[in-house]
Amino acid sequence: MKYRRIIVWFRNDLRLLDNETLFKASQMGAETIPVYCFDPRHFEKTEIGFPKTGAHRAKFLFEAIRDLRSQFRDRESDLLLLRGKPEEELVTLAERLEADAIFFSREVTSEERTIDRSLEKVAWSKGIATESFWQSTLYHIDDLPFPINQTPEIFTQFRKNIEKLSSVRASYPQPEQFKFPRKLIPISGEVPELETYGLEEPEFVREKVMEFDGGERAGLRRIQSYFWEGDHLKEYKETRNGMIGADYSSKFSPWLALGCLSPRIIYEEVKRYERQRKKNQSTYWLIFELIWRDYFRFICKKHGDRIFHLEGIKNTKDSWRRDSADFERWCEGQTGVPFVDANMRELKLTGFMSNRGRQNVASFLVNDLGIDWTWGASYFESQLIDYDVCSNWGNWMYVGGVGNDPRENRYFNILRQAKNYDKNGEYVRLWIPELAKIQGFDIQHPWDLSTAQMKEAEVQLGKSYPQAMVDFEGVL
């Protein structure tokens, strides 16, 4: 037996299934002490003034922690909850409990890596071993057919390379038993309340796409309902650009972001579905999208901090506007462009937005308003329940034109997009009740209505709904 007592530090891997860190610790026969640490830095205000972790995301996180704790408690173990800087708290705990090792999963981006290094250094100075494991991607970093610093810049090249030359490892089963030194740990800490971090409980919103409950068990239930009960996977490619309801896309992202689900578990379920139900373009496409997720993670690993920089990885010049009032109108869904506003209101009220919506509102902010793309990325970071540092900042770099997109200009013509994806205006009608009486596609461009039509729909531009910030006349 290599270690006697191991602290397993949970980060964005809040699950029992396919958790190599936990599995390896348990397999050693050592006593394992599962720990989560609430880091106050995650709840600070950003430079532009909103909380780094907003209420929707914090709520989802706290639910995931409660779920993990309850799963451990069902197995005669527990999840210890600490508050403070993990690089300090974990070493103090290890010393107090005489643990001889700390295991954790490896992260990619700089803030997390700095914490890892600091933890490793302090632990080492106290004679405590550390071991870290890579477990956030579909393809393991050690199986990439190229060194990380030669990760192809273009997605298609990346995908073709790994599909041809690599394979997905099998997932780890849940550990069979945990040895938990209960007598050493009489108090295990509490999950904070939203108020602890100055956040308010989000209101109930009837229009939301679905109930997102944090935690591994809810994530596994979602696989069950989307793949098996609803049988939606076979039509995923055709429906994935939808915007209303639970089943136009998988909605796995919030659980993936916190590691409640692993991409390998989803992959294995897709393969099982292909064997037992149907194999087609749609079943492949879900894996294709998971490869996008991997791609952004490996690109972040390759380029480090540059993904957060205004110039991105392309080193483009700063020509952005920083107009707080205009930015706030975008955040609040008050731009006067219904397709943008509907999506931004959904985000604010629920913490979720479809992929189609994200592409459009991001393009509107950077291309139509010319506002600093990093502001948009920071707002998404605060709001999205599926916030994932690499997917968020990577996608924003793309839209901002500072990433590695071979296409020079990712401009989305908002009205044409609205025509393709919300032709009758049902989505806009759902989120902008003040326009609800406008019929059909007219709701997407209220500025073209006649005075009589406005009156009939009870709309007064500039009063009941804002004048558009951008002139879209003649673009259709």
Using CA atoms of 117, 175, 268, 230 in order, give the dihedral in degrees to the nearest 10: -110
Cβ at position 272, least distance to ligand FAD in Å = 17
Q: Where are the beta strands (DSSP E) in 134-241?
A: none
Contacting residue, 359, 374, 378, 382, with ligand FAD by CB under 6 A: 359
Using the rule CB under 6 A, is 358 a contact of ligand FAD?
A: yes
| Contact criterion met (CB below 8 Å) for 210 and 251 | yes
Looking at the Cβ atoms of 120 and 381, the one nearer to ligand FAD is 381
Contacting residue, 5, 293, 301, 348, with ligand FAD by CB under 6 A: 293
Q: Which of 360, 414, 351, 411 is nearest to 382 (CA)?
A: 351
Using the rule CB under 6 A, is 388 a contact of ligand FAD?
A: yes
The interface with ligand FAD within residues 178-217 (CB under 6 A) comprises: none
What is d(CA 158, CA 456) in angstroms, rounded to the nearest whole number? 54
**Candidate ranges 67-75, 290-298, 337-345, 451-459; the one touching ligand FAD (CB under 6 A):** 290-298
Cβ at position 352, least distance to ligand FAD in Å = 8
**Candidate ranges 103-111, 356-364, 426-434, 449-457; the one touching ligand FAD (CB under 6 A):** 356-364
Q: Within a 13 Å sphere around the CA of 75, how many CA atoms are in the beta-carbon half?
A: 20
**Candidate ranges 94-102, 140-148, 306-314, 385-393; the one touching ligand FAD (CB under 6 A):** 385-393
Contacting residue, 180, 212, 330, 396, with ligand FAD by CB under 6 A: 396
Contacting residue, 110, 161, 316, 355, with ligand FAD by CB under 6 A: 355
Using CA atoms of 378, 383, 389, 390 in order, give the dihedral in degrees to the nearest 10: -90
Q: Which of 243, 412, 240, 246 is nearest to 337 (CA)?
A: 412
Cβ at position 88, least distance to ligand FAD in Å = 28
Residue 58 corresponds to which tokens in the numbers above? 């914090």
What is d(CA 177, CA 241) in angstroms, rounded to the nearest whole number? 43
Residue 138 corresponds to which tokens in the numbers above? 């579909």
Cβ at position 389, least distance to ligand FAD in Å = 8
Contacting residue, 197, 387, 431, 465, with ligand FAD by CB under 6 A: 387
Contacting residue, 90, 399, 438, 457, with ligand FAD by CB under 6 A: 399
Using the rule CB under 6 A, is 350 a contact of ligand FAD?
A: no
Cβ at position 419, least distance to ligand FAD in Å = 20
CB atoms within 10 A of CB 113: 15
Cβ at position 237, least distance to ligand FAD in Å = 10
Using the rule CB under 6 A, is 252 a contact of ligand FAD?
A: yes
For residue 462, report the phi and psi dihedrals to the nearest 5 degrees.
Answer: 90, -15
Looking at the Cβ atoms of 82 and 399, the one nearer to ligand FAD is 399
Strand partners, 95: none
For residue 111, report the phi and psi dihedrals to the nearest 5 degrees.
Answer: -60, -45
Contacting residue, 26, 53, 136, 392, with ligand FAD by CB under 6 A: 392
Residue 354 corresponds to which tokens in the numbers above? 């479809």
| Contact criterion met (CB below 8 Å) for 461 and 337 | no
Looking at the Cβ atoms of 199 and 362, the one nearer to ligand FAD is 362
Using the rule CB under 6 A, is 282 a contact of ligand FAD?
A: no
User: How far does CA 422 lie from the centroid of its chain?
Assistant: 25
Contacting residue, 19, 21, 77, 253, with ligand FAD by CB under 6 A: 253
Q: Which of 315, 301, 31, 291 is nearest to 175 (CA)?
A: 31
Using the rule CB under 6 A, is 249 a contact of ligand FAD?
A: yes
What is d(CA 411, CA 159) in angstroms, rounded to the nearest whole number? 24
DSSP assignment string, 101-160: EEEEE---SHHHHHHHHHHHHHHHHTT-EEEEE--SSSS-GGG-SS-GGG--SSHHHHHH
Sheet hosting strand 129-133, strand order edge to edge:
80-83, 31-38, 5-10, 101-105, 129-133
**Candidate ranges 44-52, 117-125, 285-293, 401-409; the one touching ligand FAD (CB under 6 A):** 285-293
Residue 230 corresponds to which tokens in the numbers above? 């609803």
Looking at the Cβ atoms of 32 and 136, the one nearer to ligand FAD is 136
Burial class (CB in 10 A: 0-12, 13-18, 19+), 200: exposed
**Candidate ranges 20-28, 31-39, 164-172, 354-362; the one touching ligand FAD (CB under 6 A):** 354-362
Using the rule CB under 6 A, is 257 a contact of ligand FAD?
A: yes
Using the rule CB under 6 A, is 136 a contact of ligand FAD?
A: no
Cβ at position 290, least distance to ligand FAD in Å = 5
Contacting residue, 25, 162, 243, 290, with ligand FAD by CB under 6 A: 290
Residues that bind ligand FAD (CB under 6 A): 240, 249-253, 256-257, 286, 289-290, 292-293, 296, 354-355, 358-359, 362, 380, 384, 386-388, 391-392, 395-396, 399
